[in-house]
Amino acid sequence: MNSLREPGVPDPQQARHLLRQMLRVRRLEEKCIELYSAAKIRGFLHVYIGEEAVAAGVLETLAAGDAVVATYREHGHALLRGVSAGAILAEMYGHVEGCCRGRGGSMHLFDAATRFYGGNAIVAGGLPLAVGLALADKMSGRRRVTACFFGEGAVAEGEFHESLNLAALWQLPVLFCCENNLYAMGTALVRSESQTDMALKAAGYEVPAWSVDGMDVLAVQEAARRAVDAVRSGGGPHFLELRTYRFRAHSMFDPELYREKAEVARWMERDPIQLLKTAMEAAGQLPEEEWTALQADVDAEVGAAVEFAEAGTLEPVEDLERFVYSERSAAGESGA
């Protein structure tokens, strides 16, 4: 089923909330680029600019007890799930104040308190984890949903097929969210998959699936709510193909020689933030002074996060072996 449509406007309060959520992700990612360019963030960095409507729309439909599993392009998912911008940036700085004590970095954000289980650097690596989390919930009788985000490149991996098969066989409460941005690193989807309809692939496993305009946060939210409600009510796994586009290169190391600038420019005309902003303005729901105040508020949040991260501390050398192996209790060491 295809739910592509022109963006509409919900109630003003909800529209402002979604706009703010997308803007928070955009400004955080822009700051990450700035800090990376200044060599304050090292290693790999994959930003979510252009895809904000996907995380904002889907995560809005989840409950606090639900689980979220993401990819290495997960800063936005972590932020909107409830991990503070300060903890995210501190993690990228390698400081102990980060959500993983500085040990995970950009690609391995994790936060048990918000049930955010990665950040996973392995393509398709999160899908089996999501199946395991959902299986545990079903066996325990909990009415929870596990939302698993992955790119269309993961569809070429065996874990994708194994995970969908098991989820369907066992009727597990998983929402599979395929963020189809058309390029797995530098390989176009049409050059790697004979069948480019991701929803159709999922349907082959008897999983209810449909495609959504991933640049329209309202369409994403509407489709996600429908799917989440079905999963939570015992309807088994569901699959959303979220057709989106990243405006930046795959990573900060990517020279981006595989796609035309004109193509990027065409997609940028459907910037999810601008689409919602324009619709709200047309409906008289976003006065200029309110938009200015919203930007200032988000910029202040990101600025405070940078200050928090830069004031952080590196892990003491004597602690570097901690968490490498499970620490045995005193009773266990004594043989009790």
| Residues 187-208: tens digit of each pLDDT | 999 999 999 999 999 999 999 9
Contact 130/51 with Cβ under 8 angstroms?
Answer: no
Residue 319 in this model has a pLDDT that exceeds 50:
yes
Instruction: Give the CATH number of the domain where residue 264 resides.
Output: 3.40.50.970
pLDDT at 336: 37
The tally of domains found in the chain comes to 1
Q: How confident is the model at residue 5 (pLDDT cuts 50, 70, 90)?
A: very low
Q: Is residue 7 assigned to a domain? A: no
Distance CA 38, CA 47 (A): 16
Residue 258 in this model has a pLDDT that exceeds 80:
yes
Residue 145 in this model has a pLDDT that exceeds 50:
yes
Tens digit of each residue's pLDDT (9 = 90 or more) over 158-195: 999 999 999 999 999 999 999 999 999 999 999 999 99
The residues that bridge with 148 in the sheet, in sequence order, are 69, 176
Q: Is residue 196 assigned to a domain? A: yes
pLDDT at 3: 44
Residue 275 in this model has a pLDDT that exceeds 50:
yes
DSSP helix/strand/coil, 3: coil
Contact 252/45 with Cβ under 8 angstroms?
Answer: yes
DSSP helix/strand/coil, 67: strand
Q: Is residue 314 assigned to a domain? A: yes
Residue 9 in this model has a pLDDT that exceeds 70:
no
Residue 331 in this model has a pLDDT that exceeds 50:
no
pLDDT at 268: 97
Mean pLDDT of the chain: 93
Contact 172/230 with Cβ under 8 angstroms?
Answer: no
pLDDT at 311: 97
The residues that bridge with 67 in the sheet, in sequence order, are 146
Candidate from 78-92, 128-142, 310-324 with smallest mean pLDDT: 310-324
Q: Is residue 2 assigned to a domain? A: no
Residue 281 in this model has a pLDDT that exceeds 80:
yes
Q: Is residue 21 assigned to a domain? A: yes
Residue 137 belongs to what domain range? 12-333
Q: Is residue 103 assigned to a domain? A: yes
State percent of the chain over pLDDT 70: 94
pLDDT at 53: 98
pTM summary value: 0.92
Distance CA 143, CA 134 (A): 10
Q: Is residue 303 assigned to a domain? A: yes
- 232: which DSSP letter? I
pLDDT at 333: 46
Residue 323 in this model has a pLDDT that exceeds 90:
no
Q: Is residue 248 assigned to a domain? A: yes
Helices (H), ranges, 141-268: 158-170, 198-203, 217-230, 261-268
